[in-house]
Amino acid sequence: MAGSRPICYPPPAGETDQEGASLLQKFWQVNWGLVLLILVVSAVGLAMLYSAANGSLDPWALAQGRRLVLGLGAMFVVAFLDIRFWFRFGYLFYFCTLALLVGVEVMGSVGMGAKRWIDLGFFQLQPSELMKIAIVMALARYFHGISTGDIRRSSLLIVPLLMVTVPSALVLRQPDLGTALLLILASGAVFFCAGVRIWKFALATGLALASIPIGWQFLREYQRDRVLNFLNPEKDPLGAGYHILQSKITLGSGGLFGKGFMEGPQSHLNFLPEKHTDFIFTMLGEENGMIGAIALLLLYGLILLYGMAIAVRARNQFARLMAMGLTANLFLYVFINIAMVTGMVPVVGVPLPLISYGGTVMITILVSFGLVMSVWIHRDIRIPRHGVPPWFGDGI
Amino acid sequence: MSIVREDRERHKTFLRRVLMLGCAKGALLTALAGRLYYLQILEGEKYKTLAEDNRISLRLLSPERGRILDRFGAAVADNRDNFRVLLVRELAPDVSETLRRLGQLIPVSDYDRKRVLRDIAKKRAFVPVTVKENLAWEQVARIEGRIADLPGLSIERGNSRNYEYGADMAHVLGYVAAVSERELNGDPLLELPGFRIGKSGIEKFYDYELRGAAGAKQVEINAYGREIRELSRKEASSGKEVVLTIDSGLQVFVQQRLLSEQSAASVVLDIETGDVLALGSIPSFSPTAFDTGLSQGQWDALVNNPMFPLTNKAIAGAYAPGSAFKMVVALAALAEGISPENYTVFCNGHITLGTARFHCWKRSGHGRVNMLQSLQHSCDVFYYNVSRHLGIGKIAAMAERLGLGRPVGIDLPGEKGGLVPSRGWREANIGGPWQVGETLVASIGQGFVLATPLQLAVMVARIASGRAVRPCLARGYRELGQGYGYGVPPFESLNISQSHLDSVLKGMDLVVNDRGGTAYRARIKERGWEMAGKTATSQVRRISLEERQAGVLQNDSLPWRRRDHALFVGVAPLHRPRYSCAVVVEHGGSGAAVAAPICRDILTEVQRRNTAGREALVLENTVPPGLFRRGAL
């Protein structure tokens, strides 16, 4: 196949088809600046976990480090795979994940309590986490095939809307409000970038707001408590409002410069709950102050900029939408987590990517970065609107 | 449309949307930064304070209760080490096994075992639970030796109150016990577990002084309240040591002497200083029982005992003073100008007033008696006569000058004021006008008149000195090795003519030391120690006409509760009275036969001990007038 260029258009001057590029060539194509940023943020995370364990690698930092190495490996594997591979298998990936999600739903209802994961031995796979990638990929694949003109047709939105609602409803049933919200919002970003008219978003938002009273009926008791406590955390400072209040106290007491690494009394004396998972940002804010917290925000901001720049630079709609969707996903993680621990939104149980302790999220995020890098490495590949050219089938 | 052109169009839309989304993300991240600025900078101070509150806990350190010393400095109440075995659940891998092993070393009852297991289940894992208290030293040693085999157990030294003389001082000192719900006044010291406060006696009256000031330590705690480390510590300052006027040797003697009776009280005063040298009341109780906790049965036994062991009868028992009141009437009469020797009354055994007859205790009558003889023989008819002329007003006025009718103001809680009736009192409390007959009854200390043993001792002290003697129990206090004395106030004169006082005292001399006196058999024979006094036998029942005709029932044939009270008041030594003493034996029968010998023994003992003559514990400083406690009323 090498050498043949049976594409129905001549590639613009100066562009090269990366098909057949060697692994070494791809290696040099990797966006090392992005990798560096990821490593820096991950290192901050490991340091915070070390501090959370009162200056010990056990029980969190070391385990998280191992996952980081594993995740980085996965990231590079994903990055080096051809973008057309992901294009081709986008739907398959989505449906497999959906099947897994239904699977845990069935097992979960048979087994005890809310079981959201499948034990793979070395780590526990949460299909809902995988779905965050799969849905973005599937939607990007779908919108890739819609022309600028067709995008105005509302009937064409029925299929992608279903693609979002089904997994979201399943996740919501688990119940995992945070993940469901992330799925919907990340999907929204893909819809938005695909060019869906803005008034339709306004309509959807309006409908969502209108359905809050109905949705309230379906919330579990603890979810309602969380919302109520968000609205008035001082109501029951030692009960359910404890998390938010203690988080604000911990964060606020950090001041401008913080209390120093491993010196945060609030976190180390266990006033701060979940300090190694969802509330790790609070601990960071206590120990490193506003300076440290804003520095971390800037790092995330840079990563987001990289992601968006990569999306803009890509030459096919699938890659662009996927990069934007995954970047939006990362943004949502960061924003919802920090807004939650600072008391701006209710506690919804969203971890801070690359920092919070937890395997699945780490893998999900690094695989997402792998896909974004794959977009970058294969940025000049064009894919026809109606699918991968037949020759690609055996070109992989 | 070529793929490139089509893509370019889509790319244009895409770029626009990316820009919008990027701006939105940027705005939201900026909002987060703003929120951080608000929480960490603008509200930072507030949250820092809240965090300090979270982190630092103030734990009170209980002060050691001040000792109580007698007049010579001997400790009558102090603190004893109370060794306790505590169990911390989280340090004991197997609680029942640990308890079983402890049971091999010291007796652990099934009840204790169940209580420990119940307490442990209720409290958090690091909170110590008391397994056993008041361990003997030898038990402590046995546990300490095997402590390695007893994981989770530890021995803690606490304090409990120790009363050297137990029941003999219980009515003076009172007792301490755990703070009850309604005594909480917001002082956090009172809320400390195991804190004890005075519940009666000196322990209650001087509780504030004895209590001391709490210390505090600042500890860093975690969210579960466990102490991580101590940040600072201010030691508690122990309470003041209260120095009493009591001579503990005399006190024990009095208490033991009273034990010949079932229910009695006695007060010994130093006439010059007002010092209460002994304050006896029987039956008594064991004060330590309250500290360690009474069982319901023990409590019921104390409360339901018909002789009221918990009541300090010396200050809270009000009795008809009987013939002891005759000195009051005598002084009132002398003040009206009658002559102690020349004014006489003929006693034929009774006096008739309208249709009523008022009897003398001696049915055959005393014949012609003057005032001295009326005291010596305790002739009732003489006083019936005199009081008719005096009227209740003058008698009551004299009684009040001598300290009757209202609390004398001793520094003990629960002092009763007795009763000196007046026209106004009768109208207000009983209704109807005062009857002359009631004056007659009052003149022999019966009817409405009531006095406490303390008041009676004060009364004779005032008669002997002519001054307004006021009794007190605390000489002062000691703090940080320094003594502070409340000092002795100059008691003001009662403005009673010395010759009148001498006459009454002469009558009291005759009572005891003249062959015809009612208490001649109870005289003090030692030369120079002689006492003067007055017997009294006060009725607690009304003798009906029928009974009087059939012959008045003797006390021996009456049930205990209806027998007469036996009273005696005395002063000694006769030539220069220094001590006054009142003895009341509830339902004891005859004052001459029962109360007088007790008073004789007590006044002999106090002179033998030379209590007032020996140098008391030196209190080098004088308490400034503002802190003056004497005559607290």
Q: pLDDT value at position B158?
A: 75
Q: Are the Cβ atoms of B222 and A193 closer than 8 angstroms?
A: no
Question: From CA B267, how far away is CA B410, in angstroms rounded?
Answer: 12
CA distance A350 to chain B (A): 16
Q: Helix, strand or coil for residue B26?
A: helix
Q: Are the Cβ atoms of A252 and B46 closer than 8 angstroms?
A: yes
Contact (CB, 8 A) for A35 and A344: no
pLDDT exceeds 50 at position A13: no
- The pair of structure tokens assigned to A65 is 């480090």
Contacts of A8 (CB under 8 A, 6+ apart): A384, B3
Q: pLDDT value at position B631?
A: 39
Give the mean pLDDT of B277-291.
87
Q: pLDDT value at position B253?
A: 95
Q: Are the Cβ atoms of B4 and A8 closer than 8 angstroms?
A: no
Closest-approach residue (CA) in chain A for B15: A312
CA distance B71 to chain A (A): 54
B5 CB burial (10 A radius; 0-12, 13-18, 19+): exposed
Q: pLDDT value at position B430?
A: 86
Question: From CA A118, how far away is CA A124, in angstroms rounded?
Answer: 6
Q: Helix, strand or coil for residue B129?
A: strand
- Among left, alpha and beta (phi > 0; psi -120 to 50; other), residue B631 is left
Q: pLDDT value at position A395?
A: 38
Which of the four pLDDT bands, split at 50, 70 and 90, describes residue A69? very high
What is the tens place of the pLDDT at every residue in A301-326?
Answer: 999 999 999 999 998 889 999 999 99
DSSP B273: T
Give the mean pLDDT of B8-33.
91
**Which of B118-122, B158-162, B286-290 is predicted with the least confidence, judged by mean pLDDT?**
B118-122
Which of the four pLDDT bands, split at 50, 70 and 90, describes residue A140? very high
Give the mean pLDDT of B517-542.
90
H-helix or E-strand containing B47? helix B44-55
Contact (CB, 8 A) for A124 and A362: no
Give the mean pLDDT of A1-13.
40
| DSSP state string for A233-287 | GGGSTTTTTHHHHHHHHHHHHHTTT-S-TT--HHHHTT-STTTTTTTHHHHHHHH
CA distance B115 to chain A (A): 30
**Which of A89-93, B49-53, B62-66, B102-106 is predicted with the least confidence, judged by mean pLDDT?**
B49-53
Q: What is the percentage of chain B residues whose pLDDT exceeds 70?
A: 94
Count residue pairs from A and B with Cβ separation < 8 A. Answer: 147
Question: From CA B364, how far away is CA B77, in angstroms rounded?
Answer: 54
Could you give the dihedral angle defined by the CA atoms of residues A273, A278, A282 and A287, in that order, rounded to the nearest 10 degrees? 90
Residue with token string 């703003």: B34
Which of the four pLDDT bands, split at 50, 70 and 90, describes residue B314? very high
Question: From CA B385, how far away is CA B374, in angstroms rounded?
Answer: 12
Give the mean pLDDT of B203-214.
88
**Residue A190 vs residue A108, higher pLDDT:** A190
Contacts of B424 (CB under 8 A, 6+ apart): none
Q: Which one, of B491, B494, B471, B579, lies nearest residue B529 by Cα? A: B579
Contacts of B136 (CB under 8 A, 6+ apart): none
Q: Are the Cβ atoms of A193 and B18 closer than 8 angstroms?
A: yes
Q: Of B26, B36, B54, which is closest to A249 when you measure between CB atoms?
A: B54
CA-based torsion, A72, A75, A79, A81: positive or negative: positive
pLDDT exceeds 80 at position B33: yes
Residue B177 phi, psi dihedral angles, 5° rounding: -155, 170
Q: pLDDT value at position A252?
A: 83
**Residue B84 vs residue B504, higher pLDDT:** B504
Closest-approach residue (CA) in chain B for A273: B223
Q: pLDDT value at position A230?
A: 62
DSSP B554: P
- The pair of structure tokens assigned to A132 is 């965050």
Q: Are the Cβ atoms of B2 and A9 closer than 8 angstroms?
A: yes
Closest-approach residue (CA) in chain B for A300: B29
**Which of A7-11, A59-63, A70-74, B476-480 is predicted with the least confidence, judged by mean pLDDT?**
A7-11
Question: From CA A259, how far away is CA B44, in angstroms rounded?
Answer: 12
Q: Are the Cβ atoms of B18 and A254 closer than 8 angstroms?
A: no
Q: Helix, strand or coil for residue B445?
A: coil
Closest-approach residue (CA) in chain A for B2: A9
Q: Which one, of B523, B528, B506, B351, lies nearest residue B444 by Cα? A: B351
pLDDT exceeds 80 at position B162: yes
CA-based torsion, B333, B337, B341, B347: positive or negative: negative
Q: Are the Cβ atoms of A270 and B6 closer than 8 angstroms?
A: no
- The pair of structure tokens assigned to B626 is 């503002």
Mapping DSSP onto H, E and C, the string for B233-250 reads: EECCECCCEEEECCCHHH
Q: pLDDT value at position A239?
A: 52
pLDDT exceeds 90 at position B169: yes
pLDDT exceeds 80 at position A36: yes
Could you give the dihedral angle defined by the CA atoms of residues B225, B226, B228 and B231, in that order, rounded to the nearest 10 degrees? 50
Give the mean pLDDT of B243-270.
94
Q: Are the Cβ atoms of B36 and A251 closer than 8 angstroms?
A: yes
Q: pLDDT value at position A375?
A: 93
Closest-approach residue (CA) in chain B for A12: B4
Pairing of strands B176-178, B215-221: unpaired
Question: From CA A292, how far away is CA A355, in angstroms rounded?
Answer: 14
pLDDT exceeds 80 at position B6: no
Q: Are the Cβ atoms of A328 and B21 closer than 8 angstroms?
A: yes
Question: From CA B177, how far away is CA B175, in angstroms rounded?
Answer: 7
Q: pLDDT value at position B463?
A: 95
CA distance B47 to chain A (A): 5
**Which of A125-139, A261-275, B414-428, B587-601 is predicted with the least confidence, judged by mean pLDDT?**
A261-275
User: Which residues from chain B sit within 8 angstroms of residue A317, using beta carbons?
Assistant: 7, 10-11, 14
Range B369-402 burial, b when 16+ CB lie within 10 A, else e: bbbbbbbbbbbbbbbbbbbeebebebbbbbbebb
Q: pLDDT value at position B124?
A: 65
Q: pLDDT value at position B328?
A: 94
Q: Are the Cβ atoms of B35 and A339 closer than 8 angstroms?
A: yes
Pairing of strands B621-622, B482-485: parallel
- The pair of structure tokens assigned to A264 is 């945060």
Closest-approach residue (CA) in chain A for B48: A253
Q: What is the CA angle B579-B581-B587, rounded to 5?
A: 170
Q: pLDDT value at position A116?
A: 61
**Residue A386 vs residue A395, higher pLDDT:** A386
Question: pTM of the full predicted structure?
Answer: 0.62
Q: Of A269, A317, A344, which is closest to B55 when you measure between CB atoms?
A: A269
Choose from B2, B4, B10 for mutation: most chain A CBs within 10 A: B10
Q: Of B33, B43, B51, which is closest to A250 when you measure between CB atoms?
A: B51
User: Which residues from chain A sit within 8 angstroms of residue B55, using beta carbons?
Assistant: 265-266, 269, 271
Q: Of B14, B36, B224, which is closest to A293 when you measure between CB atoms?
A: B36
Give the mean pLDDT of B127-145.
81
Q: Are the Cβ atoms of A342 and B36 closer than 8 angstroms?
A: yes
Question: From CA B441, how far away is CA B294, in angstroms rounded?
Answer: 45
CA-based torsion, A16, A18, A24, A30: positive or negative: positive
Could you give the dihedral angle defined by the CA atoms of residues A110, A113, A118 and A120, in that order, rounded to the nearest 10 degrees? -110
Question: From CA A392, how far away is CA B15, in angstroms rounded?
Answer: 28
What is the tens place of the pLDDT at every residue in B87-123?
Answer: 877 777 788 888 888 888 888 888 888 888 887 777 6
Q: pLDDT value at position A219?
A: 73
Q: Of A9, A289, A300, which is closest to B3 when you measure between CB atoms?
A: A9
Q: Which one, of B378, B580, B567, B606, lies nearest residue B464 by Cα? A: B580
Closest-approach residue (CA) in chain B for A265: B55
Q: pLDDT value at position A27?
A: 83
pLDDT exceeds 70 at position B509: yes
Question: From CA A80, how far away is CA A190, in angstroms rounded?
Answer: 23
Q: Of A289, A308, A384, which is closest to B22 when you measure between CB atoms?
A: A308
Contact (CB, 8 A) for B116 and B87: yes
What is the tens place of the pLDDT at every residue in B322-341?
Answer: 999 999 999 999 999 998 88
What is the tens place of the pLDDT at every residue in A255-295?
Answer: 888 877 777 777 776 667 777 888 889 888 888 899 999 99
Average pLDDT value over all residues in chain B: 86
| Length of chain B in terms of residues written | 633
Q: Are the Cβ atoms of A324 and B21 closer than 8 angstroms?
A: yes
Average pLDDT value over all residues in chain A: 81
Which of the four pLDDT bands, split at 50, 70 and 90, describes residue A396? very low
Could you give the dihedral angle defined by the CA atoms of residues B276, B282, B286 and B290, in that order, rounded to the nearest 10 degrees? -80
H-helix or E-strand containing B602? helix B596-609
Give the mean pLDDT of B398-407.
93
| DSSP state string for B260-272 | TSSSEEEEEEETT
Q: Which one, of B434, B130, B168, B153, lies nearest residue B293 by Cα? A: B130
Check whether the bond before A175 is cis (ω within 30° of 0): yes
Q: Are the Cβ atoms of B50 and A301 closer than 8 angstroms?
A: no
pLDDT exceeds 90 at position A44: yes
Which of the four pLDDT bands, split at 50, 70 and 90, describes residue B632? very low
Question: From CA B81, how far away is CA B162, in angstroms rounded?
Answer: 9
Mapping DSSP onto H, E and C, the string for B331-356 reads: HHHHHCCCCCCCCEEEECCEEEECCE
User: Which residues from chain B sit within 8 angstroms of residue A344, using beta carbons?
Assistant: 31-32, 35
Question: From CA B537, how far away is CA B280, in angstroms rounded?
Answer: 20
What is the tens place of the pLDDT at every residue in B419-466?
Answer: 999 999 999 988 889 988 899 999 999 989 999 999 999 999 999 999
Q: pLDDT value at position A16?
A: 47
